[in-house]
Amino acid sequence: MGRFPAWAERQKRKGTVIKSDGKGHYSLYKNSSKRVPGKKHPQPVQTYIGAITPDGVMERFDINRESSGIRIWEYGFSYALQALAPPSFMKDLGSEDRAISVLGCLIVSESDESYLYRSRSSWCDGCDGTCISLQRKKLERLMGFTFEHLAPLKRIRLAEIGGQLVMTEIGALQKRILEETGVELPWDIQ
C-alpha cells in the first residue's frame, strides 16, 4: 500500500500529484515546471485541481459573479452580530440611525462580503468621531462572545440567483456556535 488510501491513489494521473493535509483530506494538483530567468533549472509549479473523495475528484470551479448574475454574500456572522447586539449597546449610541450605522460599520469591518451591502454600499459614513475598536470591545463584553469566537459563522453564505436568496448548508461547528449563542437564522430572507 502507498502513502495514500487506494481510493485516493486511483485518482492520480500522469502529471498530477496527491497532497494530504494530515487530517485525512486529500487534494489533487497538476505538476509542471516553468523556466525562470536567472535560475539554473526549471522551477516546479503545482496548480490545485480539486479535493479527492472516495467518489472521485471534486474539481474547483469559479463563478464569474459579474456576468453570471449570481451574488454570494456572507450571512451567518453578520446576522449573529445583529441578533446578539443588546438594546443597551444600541441605546448608548444615541439615535437609532447612528446606532444602526455603528453596528453596521462593526460588521462590515470584519466581513467585507456581508449581506448588509445588499441594502447600502457604505456603512461607516455616519461613524465620524466614533472609535470603532472601542465599540467592538464594548459589544464583545455585552454579548459575552468575541468576534473571533463567532468568525466560523462567516462560512454561512447567501447565494442570490436571479433575485432568489438561498442559504448554504450549515456545518456542525456553525450549528454548535448558533446553539450556544441562541441565534436562530431565519430561512425566509428578504
**Looking at the structure, do residues 101 and 174 belong to the same domain, yes or no?**
yes
Establish if 154 belongs to a structural domain.
yes
Is 45 within a domain? Answer: yes
- Residues 114, 73 contacting (CB under 8 angstroms): yes
Q: Is 188 domain-assigned?
A: no
Does residue 189 lie in a domain region? no
**Residues 133 and 118 reside in one and the same domain:** yes
| pLDDT (mean) for 50-66 | 74
How many domains does the structure of the chain reveal?
2
Residue 98 has pLDDT above 80, yes or no: no
Q: Are residues 87 and 156 in the same domain?
A: yes
Residue whose grid cell is 487506494: 6
Shared-domain flag, residues 20 and 78: no
Residue 67: which pLDDT band, with cuts at 50, 70 and 90?
low
Q: Percent of the chain beyond pLDDT 70?
A: 88
Sequence-distant (≥ 6) Cβ neighbours of residue 77 within 8 angstroms? 107, 110, 111, 114, 150, 151, 153, 154, 156
For 162, the 3-state DSSP assignment is: coil
User: Based on the domain organization, do 81 and 172 belong to the same domain?
Assistant: yes
pLDDT digits (tens, 9 = 90+) for 99-150: 788 888 888 888 878 877 776 667 777 666 677 788 888 889 888 988 888 8
Between 24 and 80, name the one with better pLDDT. Answer: 80
Domain assignment of residue 186, yes or no: no
- Tell me the average pLDDT across 63-75: 72
**Residue type, position 152, single letter:** P
Q: Is residue 115 part of a domain?
A: yes
What the block records as the C-alpha cell of 77 is: 456572522
Residue 102: the pLDDT is 82
Q: 111 and 28 in one domain?
A: no
**Are both 30 and 119 inside the same structural domain?**
no
Task: Establish if 74 belongs to a structural domain.
Answer: yes
CA–CA separation, 156 vs 181, rounded Å? 15
Residues 24 and 106 in one domain: no
Q: Are residues 40 and 85 in the same domain?
A: no
Same domain membership, residue 104 and residue 26 = no
Q: What is the mean pLDDT of residues 34-50?
A: 89
Q: Please tell me whether residues 160 and 76 are part of one structural domain.
A: yes
Q: Is residue 190 part of a domain?
A: no
Give me the pLDDT at residue 178, please.
92
Are 119 and 171 within one domain? yes
Domain assignment of residue 97, given as a range: 65-181
SS3 101: helix
What residues does 57 pair with on adjacent strands? Answer: 52
Cα–Cα distance, 141 to 131 (Å, whole number) = 16
